[in-house]
């Protein structure tokens, strides 16, 4: 299934003054699938190549593959912009194992608040999209899904889970997206203490999904990275290390 994460697209569009693309948007990285970072990210997970995904009506974030402190990395610069790199996958829920990732953030976004519609920016996000029973959508989410279908030709995911760095909320906090409760964020880093250094994580995706949504996850459909500063109109930089998702079979070895 061709998957473009229309939950994020639609929720962003609801707050856009214009749906027209910005002609002055910075270019994305070249063939993302050929970069060392892309080749090192999710190498054991079958799916489509990593691709740049612009969001309608938004300036595109700049993605540049680099070597940083001895590791393949993706350098990201958001200048009043929002877009993402994403990879379509299909990992059954019973195969979900630990997810390892890393990032480096030199500075937080002043005034950002991921619980507020007009300030929902983040220096780093790791985004996971899941399938599920859309007949359980509320009337609001069903309408949002139809909006997404009308704008993109695709329905929004059943659920989207993000790992984020927050300005002030404590690690472990679950933040609901201000436009739809089908997007929820788990804070894994907070405040300025870890700025300017690589931060490494390993997360139990299934347990985190249950904690955030109160139910078992469906299959994992897509994984992506996103740095956005469109709501605050600011400029922010970050670096992402390679991602590694092991299945339960691989994790037991």
Q: What is the CATH number of the domain that holds 238?
A: 2.60.120.260
Please give the mean pLDDT across all residues of the chain: 86
Q: What is the DSSP letter of 32?
A: G
Residues 6+ away with beta carbon under 8 Å from 109: 121, 122, 123, 167, 229, 232, 234, 236
187 vs 11, residue with greater confidence = 187
Length of the chain in terms of residues written: 253
CA dihedral over 220, 104, 65, 55, signed as positive or negative? positive
Domain count, the chain: 1
User: Residue 16: what pLDDT?
Assistant: 35
User: Residue 178: what pLDDT?
Assistant: 85
Euclidean distance between CA atoms 70 and 88, whole angstroms = 27
Is 242 within a domain? yes
pLDDT exceeds 60 at position 237: yes
Is 1 within a domain? no
Euclidean distance between CA atoms 21 and 84, whole angstroms = 15
| Beta-bridge partner residues of 99 | 203, 245
Is 135 within a domain? yes
Euclidean distance between CA atoms 251 and 253, whole angstroms = 6
pLDDT exceeds 70 at position 91: yes
41-58 average pLDDT score: 88
With a threshold of 0.75, does the pTM exceed it?
yes
User: Residue 3: what pLDDT?
Assistant: 39
Range of the domain at 137: 6-251
70-89 average pLDDT score: 94
How sure is the predictor about 30, in pLDDT bands with cuts at 50, 70 and 90?
low
Chain centre distance of CA 227: 8
Helix, strand, or coil here: 123?
strand
Is 37 within a domain? yes
Is 138 within a domain? yes
Could you give the percent of the chain with pLDDT greater than 70? 85
Is 240 within a domain? yes
Is 223 within a domain? yes
């Amino acid at each position: 299934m061709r998957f473009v994460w229309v939950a994020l697209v639609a929720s962003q569009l609801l707050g856009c003054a214009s749906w027209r693309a910005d002609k002055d948007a910075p270019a994305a990285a070249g063939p993302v699938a050929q970069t060392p970072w892309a080749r090192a990210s999710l190498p054991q997970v079958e799916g489509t190549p990593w691709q740049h995904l612009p969001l309608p009506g938004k300036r595109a974030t700049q993605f540049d593959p680099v070597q940083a402190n001895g590791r393949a990395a993706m350098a990201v610069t958001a200048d009043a912009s929002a877009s993402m790199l994403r990879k379509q996958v299909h990992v059954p829920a019973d195969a979900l194992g630990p997810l390892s990732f890393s990032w480096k953030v030199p500075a937080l976004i002043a005034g950002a608040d991921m619980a507020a519609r007009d300030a929902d920016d983040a220096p780093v996000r790791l985004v996971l999209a899941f399938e599920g029973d859309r007949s359980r959508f509320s009337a609001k989410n069903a309408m949002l899904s139809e909006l997404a279908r009308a704008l993109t030709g695709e329905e929004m995911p059943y659920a989207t889970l993000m790992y984020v760095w927050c300005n002030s909320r404590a690690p472990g906090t679950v933040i609901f997206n201000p436009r739809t409760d089908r997007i929820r964020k788990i804070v894994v880093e907070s405040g300025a203490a870890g700025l300017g250094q690589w931060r490494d994580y390993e997360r139990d995706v299934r347990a985190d999904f249950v904690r955030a949504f109160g139910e078992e996850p469906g299959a994992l459909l897509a994984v992506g990275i996103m740095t956005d500063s469109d709501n605050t109109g600011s400029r922010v930089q970050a670096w992402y290390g390679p991602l590694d998702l092991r299945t339960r079979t691989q994790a037991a070895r």
